[in-house]
Structure formats: structure tokens, C-alpha cells
Structure 1
Amino acid sequence: MKTPSAAIFSTGGLPSPGMLGDYARDSWQRIVLYADVMRKRGNQYQEHLVEDVPNVLDFPAEIVMTGVDLPRPVNYGLVRILAPDLPQPDPSKRPFVVVDPRAGHGPGIGGFKAESEVGVALRAGHPCYFIGFLPNPVPGQTVEDVMHAEVAFLERVIALHPHSEGKPTVIGNCQAGWQILMTAAMRPDLFGPIIVAGAPVSYWAGWHGRNPMRYSGGTLGGSWATALVGDLGNGRFDGANLVQNFEKLNPANTHWSKQYNLYANIDTEAPRYLEFEKYWGGHVFLNAVEMQYIVDNLFIGNRLSTAQLITSDGVRLDLRNISSPIVVFCSNGDNITPPPQALGWITDLYRDDAELQAHGQTIVYSVHDSIGHLGIFVSGKVGRKEHEKFASNIDLINLLPAGLYEAKIADKTADTLNADLASGDYVLSVEPRGIDDVRAIVQPSVENDRKFAAAARVSEINLSLYRSFVQPWVRAVVTPQSARMLELTHPLRVSYERWNDHNPLAKLVAREADKVRAHRAPVAADNPLLAMQQAWSNAITAGLNSWRDLRDTATEQAFDFIYGNPMVQALAGQGAGSIPRPHPGALAGRVDLAADLDDELYQGGLAEAGVRALFYVHRFRPAADERRFNLTLKLLHPLFKQGARMDDLRSVVRRQARLMQHDFDAAIAALPVLLSHAEPDAVRAMAGGLEQVVLMFDVPTPDEKAGLAQMLEVFAGAAQASTGINNAATRKSTAATTAATA
């Protein structure tokens, strides 16, 4: 990196007096405009606080149901998203329900922009609902209460759409991701496809040297600190503490880059900056009991991904109970929920592919190359690409047989065949993967798990000591007034509170900013002092990044030193030979019995035969392309029984795939039996549709040509045999009629 002096001389020498004057004037104007934007930020914060239902939704909405009125009241609510500028949603399409993450910051992020999860669902023609929350929890509400509220909300959405193609598609971001997975494990019958974005389901997982946040619980000695903060808050946990933890991950951005970017681009950056700060600064609260449950059971205990959580009603929250497809969206650039934490639950629950398929679960994952944590939810580019493709192809995802898949999204080009069969500017394909592929991403380690298991046990001990000897004294001295004082003096709140129109100097700055905007004179882009300014900024950023790396390395080494110590592990019950992450075992009643599958090989009709034939032809081309899927659906869906819904079609596809996995040869040999129940014309129409699907795209492989020829021969033979049977029956009926007349 060039030094500031080198940056100046590299432009051809020292700046002239005119350049110095231009830069000085521009700097002064930027300072004034920057101060004015920060004044508006403070005003925006104050206005946001006094709103009845503060949120940053970019769409109008109407209240459908409020959680305050439930038997177990919560501060959540269900709203219907209105889109007056878009076509009316198709009532036959499954509704989308976006669940907002409650992780310390303000509500509304799932509909933060027009190009958001809400926006893409509306543009795809789906009715859309939003589950949001108020800043303050209902006294006494728990995580389980929120789960029961989500159940009630989904039941209402299902009741409002009795004629939709299937159960609602539910999207959960970050904290809401693991929350809806817990709810779906409790009530799987309420869910259609589930999309979880940036959700840390397996919190112990991570890459060595890259994911320091997971060590926080261990280095602090466990969740006693969470209990202390909740007690100091008089039973409430301030979400500003969670936001502060996020900001500590990237001190360069928090303390310099974010503000410098506003200053350096003051003429264009202000609207985007204020829009984001309205969300990021809208800190909310959780009940202390809610936060304690989350830290003990998920962050430190990591119990969800191995089915160790049991509700107060006695329901075990086993993610393998979820029968709907699950889409996991994560990113290599996410330092809050890295891919191992988003995908680690898969390797925790399933030892191999056969076990996953036996449980009938469908999982699709997509790993972005670089987008950050918040970008997963709010980036316009992600909204236009990943979220748009997930929404517009939700029926494709819903029809996938049990198994593990990776979603790939490619640009449309002039060479893209049948581009009109794919929506938008991209083409989605879904490619089969195995547990070993996910294991290569997660990189699970028994040694690593043993350290975290030791930290979890130490946390339990320290929390017990705190509750026995310290908590009574803390609660005795805390008052509502002292808790309120802590809230007001929180460093993050002070940064918003200290500069707004209540400050005596604010009006002076506002007037000066108006003058500056009227006579704005930006410095020329080739002014060498700008290069010096940028060099200084780069140096500050590099210095803060170096400090971050040093801190993170020290944190990891401290964690490894303490909890990797054999003595500490032995005292925590994690000695050599122990199993820190026990496999949860088989789910009773979920694994298909071979005898049942044998009986079903000869059950079904034309629809089942068509699906088996398609699987047979494409057995060497496992990737599911949205164009081929849309054409297949267009050609074959009318041939299914009248009134069949997408969920009915899903049952047929998944069952036939399971039968072919069970006994491939017998499933194909049974085709004539299945076709014998169909009308000859319907059999011929199904064969024609099959041929069109195979031949319409790129040239079939020799194996596909041979498979298609075999299937066409089977269908032709079945149609001919059925015609002969029908002709014989017709002749017999005619003869009987003639005899009766005579």
C-alpha cells in the first residue's frame, strides 16, 4: 500500500495552491453535509421510537392477527402485505410467509426494499404475509410462546387460502430461521417449503481461524454473563448488546469505513445510509428468560441440531420430523453465520445419504461466494437473483425427491435454449449432492466438539454458581429506574441520542447545510489530495483489520488452551473416548419397510407410470433444470386426475422416486400393469409429452435416447393392449345388445 506522501508524488508532484484551496473548500462542505446527515439520523431515530409499530417495511400492510390476544400472548403479529402497484396475487398459488428476525435490531428487514423476499414473492404472484414484532416483549413470554404464536399465525394463513396449491412457503432470516425450524419440527403439518437464510442452527461449527464469534460463550465463562445482563435490565435483555456483538466482529467497518464511506460519497450516499440506520438503530428487547434459553440451548448448548430440545409439552424438537423441503441459503462472506453453522445440522443428524433418504427429507443448499450477513436479506442483487429464483421455482423445489441438493444459478445468455421457460435474468438448476459434500464444507471435528462440550458444561456450573450466590444480591438492588438508566447510557444508543434537533447547535448546522447544497463545489477527481485522503483511510482500515485479526487469533488460542486442556475436559465429563455430539438415533415410524414398498410397486396409474418413465430416461442426468421442469409440468400436469394440487403431485413424485430407489428393475417392469388401467389415448398423450420433454432441449445422450426408445415402446404396447381390450369389450357389448333386441 502506498503511503500518503507517495500517493501525492505519484500524481506528478505537490498539489498547487489552487488544488489545496479546492480540496479545503470541498472538505469543509463535506464536513457540514456529513454533520447534517448525522443530525437527520438522530431525528429519524427519535421519530422511530415513538411509532406505535416501528418497522422498516417498504410495503403497506394490514393487520390479520396480533399475538397479544393469544392464550400465551407474545409481542408478535401477522400482517398481510398489500401491493397496490402490482397485479393481484393468484389465489391458487401457495402463500408466502416471511418471518422477521428478532436479534436486537429493528423489525422489517425481510421487506426492507422493493427487491426483497417480500417483493419477489409478490412479483411471482403469491399472496404474501409478514410475521413481525414490537420492540418490547410481553412480560413472561418465552421462546416456546413465540413458537405457539407462529403455529396460530400459520393456521390462520392456511384458513384464509383453502384453495391454494399447498401449505405456505415460510422464509426465516437469521434468528427467525432456527425459530421456524423449531416450530416446523413441532408442527410439520403446517409448513410448505421452508427457506432459511443466514440461520446459525449448528453454532459450534466453523472454520479454524475464521469464525471467532462462536468462542464468545466459552471465553466469558458461559451464560452467567447473559443472566447478569438480564438481571441488570430488571428482567429484560437489551437487544443493543446483540447488535454491539455483531459490530465488534468488524471494527474497521464499525469505527471507520461505514462513516468514511458516507463522508467520501456525501452527495449520493445519504439516502442509503439513513435507510439502513433506521433499521440498524431500532434496538428492541427480549425477556431475560428468552435470551437465556437461546444462549443456553443454541449458542452454548447447541442442542437443536442433535434433537436434544424438548418443549414443556413433552415434544422433542427433531428437525428430521420436517417433511417439507428445506432451502438453506448461506454465504462464504458471512462472518456471523458462516456456512458450517448454517449447514452443520445436516451432518449432525445424518451419517450418510441412505439415512437422509430413508427419513424422506429434502434439503437444498446454496452457498454465495461473498455476500455479507445482512446482504443475504437486504441486498438488491441477492433479491433479484437468489430470492427471485427460489420464489419463482418453489414448486420445483417442492417436487424434489428426498435427498440432498445444491442450487446453482446461471445467467441467461443469447445461447440459453428455451429461455422463455425460465423467469427473470437467470436459470436455476438443482444438482444432487451427498452428505460427504456437506461434510467437506462443515469440516466437523470430534476434537473441536469436545472443547465446546467442555465449555457448555463449565457454563452450566458457572450459571448455577451465579444463581445461587450472586443473582439474589443483584436482583435486590436493581430497580426499573436503574435498568432504564443502563438502557439510555448504552454506547450504541448514545451515538443516536447525542446529535439531533434537540441539540442547540443542530439548527445552525441545518442552515449551513442548506447553503452548502446550494453552492456545492466538489473537488476534481484527479486532485492529488483525494489520493492522500484515500491512502489515510486505507491505512486506518488496515490497522483496524490487523487489530481484529490479532484479537480473533488470541480469542481462539485462549479458547483452545482452556477447553482443549485434558484436565478441564476430564472435569467437564469430556475425557478421552467420550462422544460430545451423540447421534440422535432413528426416528420411529419414519423409515419405510421393504415389504410396504414391494406392495406399492404395482399400485398407481398413468401419473405414476409417467413419473417413473421420466426418472428412467433421465437417470443419468440428475440435475433438475427449471426450464425442463416448467415444460414437464405444462405438458404432464393436465394428464393427472382432475382437481389434483401441487402437493398431490409432490406425493406421487416423491413416492415413485422412493420406489425406484428401493427396487429399480421391479419398478420399471411394473409399468405395463400401471398403464393397463388408463385409456389408450391418454397413454399415447403421456408418451408424446415424455418425448417432447426429452427432445426439446439439448441433444439427448445415447443413454437417454435408448431409455426414451424403451419407454415409448412400453407405452405403445400398453396403448395397443388397452385398445384391444376395449375393442373386445365393445364387440361383446354390441353382441349382447343385438341378442337382447332379437
Structure 2
Amino acid sequence: MPNDNRQVTGSTPFGSFGPVFEYMTDAAQRSVLFLDVMRQRGNQYRDHLAETVPHVLDYAAELVMDGRTFKRPVNYLLVRIVPPKGVEIDPTRRPFVVVDPRAGHGPGIGGFKADSEIGVAMKAGHACYFVGFMPEPMPGQTIEDIARAEAVFLEKVISLHPKADGKPCVIGNCQAGWAVMILAATRPELFGPIILAGTPLSYWAGVRGKYPMRYSGGLLGGTWLTALTSDMGGGKFDGGHLVKNFENQNPANTLWTKQYNVYSKIDTEGPRYLEFERWWGGHVNLNAEEIQFIVDELFVGNNLAAGRIETSDGTAVDLRNIRSPIVVFCSKGDNVTPPQQALDWILDLYDDVDEIRSFGQTIVYTVHETVGHLGIFVSGGVAKKEHNEFSSNIDLIDILPPGLYEATFERKTGDTTNPDLTSGEWVMRCEQRTLDDIRAMGANSPEDERRFETAARVSEINLSLYRAFMQPMVKTIFTPQVAEWLKRWDSARMQYEAFTDANPFMAPLAAAAEQVREHRKPAAADNPFIVAQEKVSEQIVNVLDAWRDTQEKLSESMFLAMYGSPALQAAVGVNPEAARPRRPGKSLLHRELLEKRIADLKSHITKGGLQECTIRGLVYVGMARGFVDERGVAALRRIRLTEESSRLTLAQFKAMAREQFLLLLLEPEATLAAIPKLLPADMDERRKGLAAIRNVLSAAGEITGETEERLKKVAALFEVKEAGPSETGAEAVPFVPSKDRAKAS
């Protein structure tokens, strides 16, 4: 769109030729200012890479641990985010640890702006830590070394917060998410809730006609090209190649829109563009061993959800070992990590929701409708809504019973019940879901799964051939000096380097741009040539989009035809009758442990007192609703069930609620029938317990339907007549505002 500060055309001194001269003057000035922005971008690129620890964090930070000093050194750092002025940190609230992706760019995207993952977490009173990295990897550094270093980081964070009400909440952005999941599967005791933002975990997943990036490995013949590129880099893989892969997903934006937007809005857009380019151009490198693991085991091999990855000591990485709640945030507008790649690992691991519960896992997901991949981490709107709600309601997520849930958000209005129990502009609710809800988003057919399995086998063969016949020669030719020369002249870097002050042709630009700013004469918004310029730009975008769509359709057709060949599948050993290749096996040990756990649980049916019975009744009635609302959890924080000094901690409530939930699933009638025997004889105490149940439920809205019928049943078990607040002792639990109590009850 044209500049906002352009005025409607009035009379001009050149008559009918006025718009022509006006546009030519404007275009010439914009060209000078645009080139100056490119010059600033190039200089900024050089200055950024010259920093000791290049990053784009918008916060001051203090170094806590340096991974380069570890026994197995890595280029990762743990820093504490210094709270900005006016932000108070609550030492009793669990800390947050944000882990940024090392996918070609430098660190800091999780704290890129004030409205960011870090910003909203600190606003909610949580101490924040950040795991970043240096541009160059340590010699011999591997993915497993990084995981071990991050475990040490988490141990340190835990030790620094002895009064916290839970283990750290860890946010894994994009590629950092799968690294967090690998660590959580091997060291589950270190984690509180895990938030995965735009993280791919099921790498073959998708739907036909969309997300062609998943076909790339097969169309290139597998991962041998990754090995070749690393060898040409002297044992390192240039992150600039990963950046170009992202850019290729949207050629219209890469080749035209991003730059044209600056050119057309040159008077206002420069600072925002330079801010983002500081991160986008901050390329980092990976060791050959690191990138080869990523492409072999994850993106082409798809071995993570299948349980086929092992650590150096032989420990299998099984995501079912994770005991912390897992929050998955993805978007339909993300063509890098579509919802299927973010969620279909659940289908790979479990047959149904009952199996999720049998492993004691809680999985919460939310699917945004439109935001793109980077918007998940960068968008201020997303930070103010989804990330703010996750941060403010992390306790809600942590106390959810095992199962599968979808987090939904409803804007707070004047009609919202108990708005004082909400944390922001939205009301967060976790609603129960089944695996069919995940399947409804689309998934591969068994035939397509076999195609990807075939591509993985072909990749293994081609990689072996490359290592046997080509790798020795390539390593001989590409010395460290040649590798450095190639890196400097790579297009990903040259687009920045060519426009720096080191280029003698750019030297006069700064002075020329200053002169233009002093005599700036933007064309009017209704200038016919400005209108024509916008139309031409739209046509260029349409042509590039059409070219992209054609290429994507061709890529998909080629992949499906090539790897769908029965002859090729048979040649590489893929069973054409296999219904679902590479699904993790079921553990007999888990089944035995589960049977023992069930027997132990059943023995607890007749154990407990007022607290257990109150939570048992609350869970039973709440199960009819099929959701947990943040207002109910806020109400729980204000409950005192018995004496003033006896208040349930978050951890105690979580353990008790999970136990009562599982008992109600296993033996619902017996579990309910035991309530009268466990309750104290004191009727006042019983009334307090029932009032607590009612007030928590009513915090989210009126109690009706099956929920109301279940509440009456619980009231009968408590041997308390179901009536108004004054008869049930509701006044003894004053956590609903007085003006809302009658309505809530």
C-alpha cells in the first residue's frame, strides 16, 4: 500500500504532466532511501556477527552457565533475564525457561519484543531464563551433548528456585522443541509443563496439496546432499542453507514483497524491516554430526515418534516416558510446521485417549487459524493472547487430569461470569478431545506412509554410497580455506555483504539519503502512477505465487509416482502390506507396571478424608462438563477446606486430583459409594467441602444439565441438602465476589 502520509493530489504547477513529475521525483527519492536501508542492513549484519554473543533479545540478561566450560563442551549458554523496571517476580511461582531454535538463525526470537514469550511470562510473575547459543559449534559437539548440557541448565534453574511451586516450565520454539522433547523423555524429573511452539515432531505428516517441504528429502535423493554440503564446509553446515530453504517456501515474499514493502513505505517501514533483518541475517553454523542426525533421524527417517532413536548408552528415546503436561501450539497458516506435523506424533504413539491416560500423560493443543510460522514466536497479537494465557494459566495446565485436551480462548465481555477470576482479555478453557479430533485435521494414508518409508530407505542407501565413493575425495578438495571462501561468497551472505560500506559504490549513499530526507516530496496517494505501481506489484506477486503452486504440485506428483512404485518399494525392502510402518511397539513391562498401578489405585478407594472426598466430588461433577476453565482454577487458589493453616499446595492438589480422576475412571460406582464413609462427622465441615465444589464449578458459569444432576448426587453423598449458599456454608469459603455469589450458586 502507498505511504500513509501521502496527500490527495491537488493543483500542480505542471498541469496534466504534474502527476508524472510528482511520481518520478517520489520514485527517485524512494530509490535512494531504499538503497540506504539496504546499506544499513549490510552494516548491521556485519556489526551483529562481530558481537561476542550475537542475539536479538529485547531484555538485559545475566550469564548463569556457559556450556563451553563443560566436560563435553557445547556452544550453548544459560542466561537469566533481568526483569524490566516495574515487573515484580514472585519467588513462589515456577520459573520459565525459553529454548530458542538453532535452525540457521541466531538466538533471541523468543524475547524479540516486549510482547513476547518472555515478556508475558515475566508479567505473570515468573522468573525467566533463556537458553541461547554461539554462532560456531564446539569441535565434536553432538545433539546428545547439547541435550546433556540443557539438563545441567535445568538442574541449575531448579536449584535457584527452592520455593517455587513446581518444576520449570520449558518453552521449545520450532526446532528447539524436539530437542526439549528428547531430553524430557530421558530426564522427565527435570520438567514442569512443556510448551512446544511451531515444533515438528511427526515429519512425514501432512495432507496432499499442501506443505510440500516434507517431500524435499525424497526428491533430492535423501540426506547424502547434507553430508556433501557439510564436507564442502570443512565439517560444518552453514545455517544460511537452512534459511534459504525457508525462503524458498514463499518466493513471492522472498523475491519481491519483503523488499517492495520497504520501498513503497520507505518513510515508515525502514526501522521495522531492519529490526527483523537483524535476526533473519544472523546465520549460525552446525557441526556435520549435528545436522546429519537431524536430517537422518528426524526429517527423513522420522524416527523420533517411532521410538527408534537411542542415546550413546543405549537408552531408547520414548516420548511416552514424559510425565509433564505437553502443550502444542501450531497454526493452519504455518507451511513450515503444519498442524499435522505438530500433532500426528500422538497418533503414532497411542491407540486412544485411554492409552494416553495409562501413561499418565496430559497433552493440550491449540490450533491458530492464520498465523504463519514466525508469527507463532514474533507476533505481538499471539503473545498477548495465546502465550499470555499459557503463561498466566500454567497451573491450570499442570493440574489437568491425564488425557487429550484442546485449549480454546473466548474473549472476555461484559456478560462473562466472574471476570475477576480471569487473567487477561481472554478466558482460557481446556476441553476434552479424542484422537478422532486429531485425525479430522488430515493425515497420510497407509500408501503414503509406505512412500515416505521408501524414501527413507533410498536415503540410507545413497548416503552409504556417497560415504564409500565420494566423501574421501570431497574432503581432500574442500580444505578449511576453500570452505571459508565458499561460505563468504554464498548468496545468503552476499545479499548483505554487497551493500555494506565496504563496497565503494555505497559510500555516497548516506549523504545522499540525508539530502533526500530533508527535501522529501512523496507522491499523493491517488497519483495514477502510484495506483499503477500497486497493480504491477500485485501482478508480480500473483505470478510468483502461481509459479510456486505449480512447482509444489509437480514436486508432489513426482514424489508420489517415484516412491509409490511397487518395484522400488520391493527393491529397498518395504513391505507393501504394512498398514503403518515404523510404529513403536507396546511394552510388556509397561503393561505389567500398569496392572500393578491399577491394583494399588483401587486400594485407595476407601482411603482419605474431607480433602479427598471434596476433590473426588469436584472431579466427578466436572467430568460431565468435559472441560476445565481458568476461572475454576483461580477459585481453587482461594479455597481453604478445613483449618486456616491446612491449605493444599499445587503439587498436593495435582497428585490428589489425578488419583481421584483415575479412580473414577476405573471404579466409578465404588469410588462414589465410599464418600460417606470417608467424610468427617462434623456437618459444618461437610458443608464447607460441598460449598467449595459448588463455588469452583459456578466460577465458570451456571450449573445446569448433567452437571447439576451430578452435583445433587454428590450432595446426597455428603448428606447435605442441596440448597442456597446460606444453608451449605458457602459463606465460609469466600472466594467468589459477594455480588456474584447468589448468581454463581
For the criterion TM > 0.5, the same-fold answer is yes
Partners of 1:110 and 1:378 within 8 A in 2: yes
User: Partners of 1:29 and 1:639 in 2: how far apart?
Assistant: 75
Residue from 709, 712, 722 that aligns with 2:712: 709
Structure 2 residue aligned with 1:738? none
Residue 159 of structure 1 and its aligned partner are, at CA, apart by 0.5
User: Partners of 2:45 and 2:505 in 1: how far apart?
Assistant: 18
Residue 575 of structure 1 and its aligned partner are, at CA, apart by 3.1
- Residue 631 of structure 2 aligns with an amino acid whose one-letter code is R
Correspondence list, 1:199-238, <5 A? 199-238=199-238
Question: Are 2:670 and 1:670 aligned?
Answer: no
Greater shift, 627-636 or 514-523, is seen at: 627-636
Question: Are 2:183 and 1:179 aligned?
Answer: no
Residue from 614, 619, 622 that aligns with 1:615: 619
Question: Are 2:130 and 1:130 aligned?
Answer: yes
TM-score (norm 2): 0.92
Correspondence list, 1:103-114, <5 A? 103-114=103-114
Residue 674 of structure 1 and its aligned partner are, at CA, apart by 2.6
Correspondence list, 1:387-466, <5 A? 387-466=387-466
Q: Deviations over 1:404-463 (max 9, x none)?
A: 000111211222121121111111111100011112224232111100111111111111
Correspondence list, 1:523-534, <5 A? 523-534=523-534
Structure 2 residue aligned with 1:11? none
User: Partners of 2:366 and 2:152 in 1: how far apart?
Assistant: 30
Structure 2 residue aligned with 1:141? 141
Change in CA separation of 1:242 and 1:469 when aligned onto 2, cut-off 3 Å: same
Partners of 2:635 and 2:696 within 8 A in 1: yes
Structure 1 residue aligned with 2:584? 583
Partners of 1:238 and 1:284 within 8 A in 2: yes
- Residue 710 of structure 2 aligns with an amino acid whose one-letter code is G
Question: Are 2:602 and 1:601 aligned?
Answer: no
Structure 2 residue aligned with 1:98? 98
User: Partners of 1:702 and 1:67 in 2: how far apart?
Assistant: 57
Greater shift, 79-88 or 159-168, is seen at: 79-88
User: Partners of 1:68 and 1:290 in 2: how far apart?
Assistant: 16
Residue 580 of structure 1 and its aligned partner are, at CA, apart by 1.7
Change in CA separation of 1:471 and 1:632 when aligned onto 2, cut-off 3 Å: same
Q: Deviations over 1:565-608 (max 9, x none)?
A: 00001111113213523333137345664422221111222222
Partners of 1:339 and 1:442 within 8 A in 2: no
Structure 2 unaligned segments of length 5 or more: list them: 1-14, 722-745
User: Partners of 2:87 and 2:279 in 1: how far apart?
Assistant: 28
Structure 1 unaligned segments of length 5 or more: list them: 1-14, 719-742
User: Partners of 2:493 and 2:442 in 1: how far apart?
Assistant: 37
Residue 694 of structure 1 and its aligned partner are, at CA, apart by 3.4
Secondary structure, in 3 states, of the residue corresponding to 1:600? coil
Residue 637 of structure 1 and its aligned partner are, at CA, apart by 7.2
Structure 2 residue aligned with 1:484? 484
TM-score (norm 1): 0.92
User: Partners of 2:77 and 2:554 in 1: how far apart?
Assistant: 43
Structure 2 residue aligned with 1:198? 198
- Residue 602 of structure 1 aligns with an amino acid whose one-letter code is T
User: Partners of 1:29 and 1:601 in 2: how far apart?
Assistant: 79
User: Partners of 1:682 and 1:487 in 2: how far apart?
Assistant: 73
User: Partners of 2:658 and 2:169 in 1: how far apart?
Assistant: 18
- Residue 583 of structure 2 aligns with an amino acid whose one-letter code is P
Residue 338 of structure 1 and its aligned partner are, at CA, apart by 0.5
Structure 2 residue aligned with 1:88? 88
Q: Deviations over 1:656-682 (max 9, x none)?
A: 111111111111111123323x86544
User: Partners of 2:57 and 2:626 in 1: how far apart?
Assistant: 40
Correspondence list, 1:38-117, <5 A? 38-117=38-117
User: Partners of 1:640 and 1:494 in 2: how far apart?
Assistant: 68
Residue 699 of structure 1 and its aligned partner are, at CA, apart by 2.7
Greater shift, 513-522 or 540-549, is seen at: 513-522
Secondary structure, in 3 states, of the residue corresponding to 1:19? helix
User: Partners of 1:242 and 1:617 in 2: how far apart?
Assistant: 51
User: Partners of 2:138 and 2:482 in 1: how far apart?
Assistant: 20
Secondary structure, in 3 states, of the residue corresponding to 1:660? helix
Change in CA separation of 1:164 and 1:54 when aligned onto 2, cut-off 3 Å: same
Partners of 1:327 and 1:363 within 8 A in 2: yes
Change in CA separation of 1:261 and 1:478 when aligned onto 2, cut-off 3 Å: same
Structure 2 residue aligned with 1:379? 379
Partners of 1:147 and 1:179 within 8 A in 2: yes
Partners of 1:363 and 1:403 within 8 A in 2: yes
- Residue 102 of structure 1 aligns with an amino acid whose one-letter code is R
Residue 705 of structure 1 and its aligned partner are, at CA, apart by 2.9
User: Partners of 1:172 and 1:407 in 2: how far apart?
Assistant: 18
Residue 505 of structure 1 and its aligned partner are, at CA, apart by 3.0
Secondary structure, in 3 states, of the residue corresponding to 1:363? strand
Change in CA separation of 1:551 and 1:587 when aligned onto 2, cut-off 3 Å: farther
Change in CA separation of 1:458 and 1:521 when aligned onto 2, cut-off 3 Å: same
Question: Are 2:694 and 1:691 aligned?
Answer: yes
User: Partners of 1:70 and 1:556 in 2: how far apart?
Assistant: 45
Change in CA separation of 1:293 and 1:697 when aligned onto 2, cut-off 3 Å: closer
- Over the aligned positions, Cα root-mean-square deviation in angstroms equals 1.8
User: Partners of 2:702 and 2:588 in 1: how far apart?
Assistant: 43
Structure 2 residue aligned with 1:549? 549
Change in CA separation of 1:547 and 1:639 when aligned onto 2, cut-off 3 Å: farther
User: Partners of 2:321 and 2:241 in 1: how far apart?
Assistant: 34
User: Partners of 1:495 and 1:357 in 2: how far apart?
Assistant: 52
Residue 213 of structure 1 and its aligned partner are, at CA, apart by 0.6
Partners of 1:96 and 1:169 within 8 A in 2: yes
Structure 1 residue aligned with 2:628? 624
User: Partners of 1:96 and 1:261 in 2: how far apart?
Assistant: 36
User: Partners of 1:596 and 1:255 in 2: how far apart?
Assistant: 63
Secondary structure, in 3 states, of the residue corresponding to 1:444? coil
Structure 1 residue aligned with 2:322? 322
User: Partners of 1:661 and 1:93 in 2: how far apart?
Assistant: 31
Structure 1 residue aligned with 2:18? 18
Residue 342 of structure 1 and its aligned partner are, at CA, apart by 0.4
- Residue 580 of structure 1 aligns with an amino acid whose one-letter code is P
Secondary structure, in 3 states, of the residue corresponding to 1:305? coil
Partners of 1:639 and 1:686 within 8 A in 2: no
Partners of 2:136 and 2:284 within 8 A in 1: yes
- Residue 178 of structure 1 aligns with an amino acid whose one-letter code is W
Greater shift, 75-84 or 518-527, is seen at: 518-527
Partners of 1:684 and 1:716 within 8 A in 2: no
Greater shift, 438-447 or 380-389, is seen at: 438-447
User: Partners of 1:504 and 1:146 in 2: how far apart?
Assistant: 43
Greater shift, 309-318 or 167-176, is seen at: 309-318
Structure 2 residue aligned with 1:244? 244
Change in CA separation of 1:480 and 1:120 when aligned onto 2, cut-off 3 Å: same
Question: Are 2:646 and 1:645 aligned?
Answer: no
Change in CA separation of 1:398 and 1:583 when aligned onto 2, cut-off 3 Å: same
Change in CA separation of 1:165 and 1:289 when aligned onto 2, cut-off 3 Å: same
Residue 285 of structure 1 and its aligned partner are, at CA, apart by 0.3
Change in CA separation of 1:666 and 1:641 when aligned onto 2, cut-off 3 Å: farther
Partners of 2:631 and 2:699 within 8 A in 1: no
Partners of 2:234 and 2:475 within 8 A in 1: yes
Residue 698 of structure 1 and its aligned partner are, at CA, apart by 3.1
Change in CA separation of 1:638 and 1:79 when aligned onto 2, cut-off 3 Å: farther
Question: Are 2:331 and 1:331 aligned?
Answer: yes
Change in CA separation of 1:80 and 1:458 when aligned onto 2, cut-off 3 Å: same
User: Partners of 2:682 and 2:488 in 1: how far apart?
Assistant: 76
Greater shift, 36-45 or 697-706, is seen at: 697-706
Question: Are 2:122 and 1:152 aligned?
Answer: no
User: Partners of 1:452 and 1:637 in 2: how far apart?
Assistant: 56
